Structure 1
């Protein structure tokens, strides 16, 4: 009889232990999922701000005046309001460069140094949108845009500091294989808004 009670007790203990393990695994999974969502949203806000900064309007040059007078200068303010179509590469890119940043931004150096060690990953498209009203085409080639003046933006992995108030990444822009540039961008979160605090050109062709 005692043997049966001990056996029954062991079974109950095993069931309770298994239930606890399942609950802990479930809670851990929920926590990781929540962290991934929050991380995706933060990255999306930075990429969105980057697109609005990099997207370039292509105004048609005005015809030369018939009377030989000077061409009127382009209104930069009205140019900034032009809405364009931009291809965003849906896969982040690898980069092997090591950049030493100015002393003023030395707190970003560890973030910059860690970018090359990160593996590429897909962009979380659902969190990316232009606040300036630009049209974003998610693809992997400039040919994915059917407009006359096509442009494509690509980004590296984004690295955040521990309290998620600073971030660093590389952004690439191209309108043609021989017309492109690569910049390093440093971001800071100010009043719940991500702002570019430094743009440093790395390559240009």
Structure 2
């Protein structure tokens, strides 16, 4: 029972404070993994890949994934409920109150501060994902400031960089291809990963 309460509480906090959408949950999920030992940072990157390639909001998908990993089907349900409970409460309060305060200067100032805060959270998560996936730089959380180390002799993961560069070009500048559904790119990337693996790249 304790593990289910912990799952609910950890994801309740994540849902309450991860302002800015699903990617903003990544710093919280990283802290959960570090403090509980439920998963490693590499596991988190795999969860991110699975959550991005499945239907639904990424934050909720991640909560469901972690919950199932830790507590099976009941854990998945409880972690997901923990993630969505704050959103339900807050959006109901906002729906009731914002109409009365939408022209209030303090409310406008609060949103002015929330926008860059959420951008910073998302940006930090993106940098961490890029370092983990595209380089061999290892991030260690310890003390006030993270430390960085190098795994092996190389800095850059060249196959991952090449794949990311190809996808960047295809999804932004090749007119016929950029109209494809994102699931096509996710599927093709998975195939490339299998080919690279069996090819020993």
Same fold, judged at TM 0.5 (above):
no
Q: What TM-score, normalized by structure 1, do the two folds share?
A: 0.24
Counting strand residues as a fraction of each chain, which structure ranks higher?
1
Q: State the structure with more CA Rg.
A: 1
Q: What TM-score, normalized by structure 2, do the two folds share?
A: 0.24
